[in-house]
Amino acid sequence: QVQLQESGPGLVKPSETLSLTCTVAGDSMSGYSWSWIRQSPGKGLEFIGYIYYSGHTVYNPSLRSRVIISVDTSKKQFYLSLNSVTAADTAIYFCARAVLGTTTSFDNWGQGTLVSVSS
Amino acid sequence: QSALTQPASVSGSPGQSITISCTGTSSDLGNYDLVSWYQQRPAKAPKLIIYEVYKRPSGISNRFSGSKSGNVASLTIMGLQAEDEADYFCCSFGGSNNIHVIFGGGTKLTVL
């Protein structure tokens, strides 16, 4: 059973860069797409983007100018970088793996990490 | 790109069946059989319960079923149990020219 774990700072200052790592355990990264999804407190879910194990990325157009997702399969990690953050970026950030052969159904999730944007 | 539309809340008594709707458009949900449903309990990550409209991941009870008609997808839970009380989110491929994945706003299921 694959397990995902997010890590990174829980507090980021406005205008700075949010950086998170998702560590994958229990399965290979090959063949899957790996996503970042966030949830603002008390609100719904928002897709940020995904990366294939090969490195191909797809981003939410509303975040595309500020986001980079990258992967290091040798470390079994993938990463989220979101720059120029504002209070609107305060959310629980989840990393997730999509069902094999899909990019739109997420069958394994990390526990989530709360990132607050505040000075 | 608008999110998918779900009712804010539904409720039912133990043993009853409930259905949660999820409305999209012909550009997203209505044009692709790529609808999934998630159950989220408080302070937990979402859990996939239905994907590709009606498929159940291994380990998910057959009390959960999914369907789609036109621009509306539905999640039905039969034989409600207290443990089903949670938030439920629908999700769809957003279409080739839009956000890759869009979510509904979520529905709070209360088991009376």
Chain segment B9-33, per-residue pLDDT in tens: 999 999 999 999 999 999 999 999 9
CB-based contact, A94 to chain B, within 8 Å = yes
Q: How far apart are CA B57 and CA A68, in angstroms?
A: 30
* Terminal-to-terminal C-alpha distance of chain A: 39
Summarised one tens digit per residue, pLDDT across range A28-71 is 999 999 999 999 977 789 999 999 988 999 999 999 999 999 99
Task: Find all residues with CB under 8 Å of A8, minimum gap 6, and list them.
Answer: A18, A19, A20, A21, A113, A115
Task: State pLDDT tens for residues A81-92.
Answer: 999 999 999 999
Which of A106, A108, A113 to mutate to probe the B interface, most B CBs <10 Å? A106
Judged against a pLDDT cut of 70, whether residue B2 lies above it is answered with no
Q: What's the pLDDT tens digit per position in B54-75?
A: 999 999 999 999 999 999 999 9
What are the chain A neighbours of B60 within 8 Å (beta carbons)?
none
Q: pLDDT-derived band of residue B1, with 50, 70 and 90 as boundaries?
A: very low
Which pLDDT value is given to residue B3? 86
Dist. CA A66–CA A114, nearest whole Å: 19
User: B74 — contact with chain A (CB < 8 Å)?
Assistant: no
